[in-house]
Amino acid sequence: MGEPRRKSVAIIGTGLSGLVTAYLLHHDRQKRFDVKLFEKGEELSFCAESLRVQKPEDSSSAQSVWADVPMRAFAGGFYQNLIRLYDYLGVPYQSQDFIFTFTQLDSRRISDCNDVSSAAPSMTHASNFHRIPPIPRTADIFFWLLEALYALFFNLWFTLCVYYVAPYEETSSSQSETFRDYIKRTYLPRYYVDNYLLPLMASVSTCSHEELLDFPASDVLEYKRRTHRQPHYVVKNGVRAAQDRLAQDLNVLLKACVQNVVPGSNGIALHYIDAAGEHKVENFDLVVLAVSPDVVSAVFEPLRETLRRIPTTTVQTVAHNDMSTLPRVSAEFRNKNLGATDQMIHFRSSKGTTEAIHEQEGRSLIVTTNPITPIKPSRIMRSAKFTRVLRSPESRRIVNEIFADRATSGCKKPTVQWHNGDDGVFIAGGWCWDGMVLLEGCVVSAMRVASSLDVEIPWMSR
Ligand SMILES: Cc1cc2nc3c(=O)[nH]c(=O)nc-3n(C[C@H](O)[C@H](O)[C@H](O)COP(=O)(O)OP(=O)(O)OC[C@H]3O[C@@H](n4cnc5c(N)ncnc54)[C@H](O)[C@@H]3O)c2cc1C
């Protein structure tokens, strides 16, 4: 008797979730799967926007490095599976300390870059309190210390709430509590929330303050609890090392835009437009949609209406070297106060939006996310837009129902009829778990696809 026929698997999307799913199925010990990746972009997307930048002149090592755009940072505690994956692949990473500055902008200033950069930060903070944060020379020390005591007090208050005041979970008559309601319930003052808590957390979720306030409180609290006092990490020389290792030997079709995924009696028909602009159809035994929910909704009829209810937004990142966008104190801190490996991230907030300006490689690269400050066009190296999946109590319920283990989830009748894996179609992505939409969700959801197909996850058995 011959070997059983291998199953053909199409994986749509080459972000981290598509790559990890493809890696796991391709390396199945029993070699049961033929994997083909489809990506509408011109290259694998996990680091499609990364840049090669020159290291500062005083640096002793290599002349140029890959810089991640957007940021691909992670932290102990929250990113257990991502860390296991990187350890297994031998992807080198290092701890990274940050100095944050917080500035509130007067909205009238925004058209004038000069005024914006001269706006003085109201506070500085060192990640995990790894050092005494620098104080601008021009600051009035008395008011600065008063502000620091205020921010510290409510930071402590919020931290205690995270540990001792649980968010309300969904019941038969009410949805899970939003971050907005949790903030009210725990008496966090508006000034602290607008000036410190929302700018910091909105930079993690890269969305507006209003959008973040609509998140389930559990997302923010769980993130804060699990990353509390944990080191931040970045992959040395960029996540390209991870992408290269994951994608090795994989069959990838680039510039292939999937239009429709239709389960039928001969398998699952995948309709796509190829690089030459031609409409093609291929049949597969299994399909994994490793794309954002708006794309799943557009290409997969059984989830069309359901996933429309998951909010998304667009985030812009601009990689540039326009130093005039940095706060004036940046040079002062850099020259006098910072450790050699500290990186600065400046949060500037205006009208419920926070831009994050991240200085890298001795300021030879600045990456601004959600820009507010005007950036000189001649200084822009690359500008990109990303779909960001948002969270809400309703979207949380939808996601949890799609991925619930139906054998153990009790007798509660789901409101979403389609379940992950039905008709041989699976979903993976940073949004496909019960938490903040970050890289950990990509790995967890890819591992879930593998487990459903009885594929061993090598980094779990070491
Ligand atoms: C500005 C920014 C900063 C971030 N910083 C961090 C951070 O520091 N740490 C962290 O953990 N997370 C961070 N995140 C979140 C994290 O990057 C994402 O959660 C994660 O990359 C999502 O990966 P994914 O594989 O689910 O989807 P994606 O990376 O979105 O990949 C989906 C892929 O599918 C392709 N595609 C879409 N439609 C089609 C189609 N019809 N046919 C074929 N291909 C298609 C797309 O081109 C894309 O390549 C950040 C996100 C942003 C936007």
* Ligand 1 nearest-atom number relative to CA 441: 19
Q: Grade residue 185 by pLDDT with cuts at 50, 70 and 90.
A: very high
* 94-104 burial code (b ≥16 CB/10 A, e <16): eebbbbbbbbb
- What residues does 253 pair with on adjacent strands? 38
Q: Are 211 and 198 in contact (CB under 8 A)?
A: no
Q: Which amino acid is at 141?
A: I
Per mean pLDDT, which range of 8-17, 136-145, 387-396 is the poorest?
136-145
Place 426 in a pLDDT band, splitting at 50, 70 and 90.
very high
Spatial distance between the Cα atoms of 417 and 419, rounded to a whole number of angstroms? 6
Average pLDDT, the chain: 92
The residue whose CB lies within 8 Å of the most ligand 1 atoms, and thus the one to mutate among 47, 69, 71, is 71
Amino acid found at 266: N
The CB density around residue 309, as the number of other CB atoms within 10 Å, is 14
- Whether 60 has a pLDDT exceeding 70, the answer reads no
The reported pLDDT for the residue numbered 1 is 58
Question: Could you tell me the pLDDT band of residue 35, with boundaries at 50, 70 and 90?
Answer: very high
Residue nearest to atom 46 of ligand 1 (CA): 13
DSSP 234-273: EETT-THHHHHHHHTT-EEE-S-EEEEEEEETTEEEEEEE
Q: Average pLDDT in the 303-319 region?
A: 97
Q: Give residue ranges with CB within 6 A of ligand 1.
A: 12-18, 38-41, 45, 70-74, 206, 257-258, 290-292, 295, 299, 315, 317, 369, 386, 388, 429-430, 437-439, 442
DSSP for 338-361, written as a single string? --TT-EEEEEEEETTEEEEEEEEG
Cβ-Cβ contacts under 8 Å for 169 (sequence gap 6 or more): 176, 177, 218
CA distance 238 to 288: 26
Return d(Cα 305, Cα 252) in angstroms, integer. Answer: 30
Distance 178 CA to ligand 1 centre (A): 24
Q: Which of 343, 403, 438 to mutate to test the pocket of ligand 1 (most atoms within 8 A of CB)?
A: 438
Residue 304 and residue 295: Cα distance in Å, rounded? 9
**Domain 7-47+238-309+391-460 annotated CATH 3.40.50.720:** no
Average pLDDT for 384-394: 97
How close is the Cα of 210 to the center of ligand 1, in Å? 22
Q: Is the pLDDT of residue 410 over 80?
A: no
Q: pLDDT of 432-462, one tens digit each?
A: 999 999 999 999 999 999 999 999 999 998 6
* DSSP label of 413: P
Ligand 1 atom nearest the C-alpha of 439 is: 11
How far is residue 151 from each of residues 191, 327, 343, 387, measured CA to CA in Å?
A: 10, 21, 22, 32
Which of 241, 222, 289 shows the shortest CA–CA distance to 80?
A: 222
Q: What average pLDDT does range 387-405 have in this prediction?
A: 95
Q: Whose CA is nearest to atom 33 of ligand 1?
A: 13
Residue spans per domain, the chain: 7-47+238-309+391-460, 99-228+312-389
Interval between CA 456 and ligand 1 midpoint (Å): 25
The first and second tokens of residue 458, run together, are: 């090598």
In this predicted structure, the answer to whether residue 52 has a pLDDT above a threshold of 90 is no
- 99-228+312-389: what CATH class? alpha beta
Closest C-alpha among 359, 271, 419, 143 to residue 369: 359
Q: Report, in this order, helix, strand and coil percent for the chain, each rounded to 5.
A: 35, 25, 40
| Stretch 140-155: mean pLDDT | 95
